[in-house]
């Protein structure tokens, strides 16, 4: 099944869109999302729910990620792991839109 993640991301009011089991019933354990932050936008929260873990990959731009009491500044090509039930807060440090990908999966087998 061909799918345009970027198009759906740009059309989403949440500024992010995920492709996984809800759209393709053949997918069991993984999902992929794309999101963006507008210039200098701050306060976006990403939080893998119970039974999920995620990797945030900066595709374009410079984003500060606060996870627990640590801050990391990531630039294009860098990534950060977010454990189950942790909340990461994203801030765009760029003067233009920054894009990120989120790859996630289950820590234990379950169905949606």
Question: Residue 10 belongs to a domain with what CATH number?
Answer: 2.60.120.10
Is 36 a member of any domain? yes
| Full domain range(s) for residue 95 | 5-106
Is 21 a member of any domain? yes
Q: What confidence tier does 111 reach under pLDDT thresholds 50, 70, 90?
A: low
Is 81 a member of any domain? yes
Chain-centroid distance of CA 59 in Å reads: 11
How many domains is the chain partitioned into structurally? 1
Q: How many CA atoms lie within 13 Å of 31's alpha carbon, on the beta-carbon side?
A: 23
pLDDT tens digits along 36-95:
999 999 999 999 988 899 999 999 999 999 999 999 999 999 999 999 999 999 999 999
Is 112 a member of any domain? no
> What is the reported pLDDT for 109?
67
More confident site: 106 or 83:
83
> What is the reported pLDDT for 61?
97
**What is the Cα–Cα distance from 2 to 16, expressed in whole angstroms?**
18
Q: Is the pTM of this model over 0.85?
A: yes
Is 38 a member of any domain? yes
Is 72 a member of any domain? yes
Contact 39, 95 (CB under 8 A): yes
């Amino acid at each position: 099944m061909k799918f345009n993640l970027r198009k759906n991301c740009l059309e989403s009011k949440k500024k992010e869109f995920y492709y996984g089991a809800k759209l393709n019933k053949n997918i069991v354990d993984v999902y992929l999302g794309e999101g963006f932050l507008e210039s200098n936008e701050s306060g976006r929260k990403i939080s893998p729910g119970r039974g999920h873990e995620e990797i945030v990959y900066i595709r374009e731009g410079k984003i500060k990620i606060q996870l627990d009491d640590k801050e990391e500044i990531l630039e294009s090509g860098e990534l950060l792991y977010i454990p189950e039930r942790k909340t990461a807060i994203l801030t765009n440090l760029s003067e233009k839109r920054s894009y990120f990908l989120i790859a996630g999966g289950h820590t234990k087998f379950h169905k949606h």
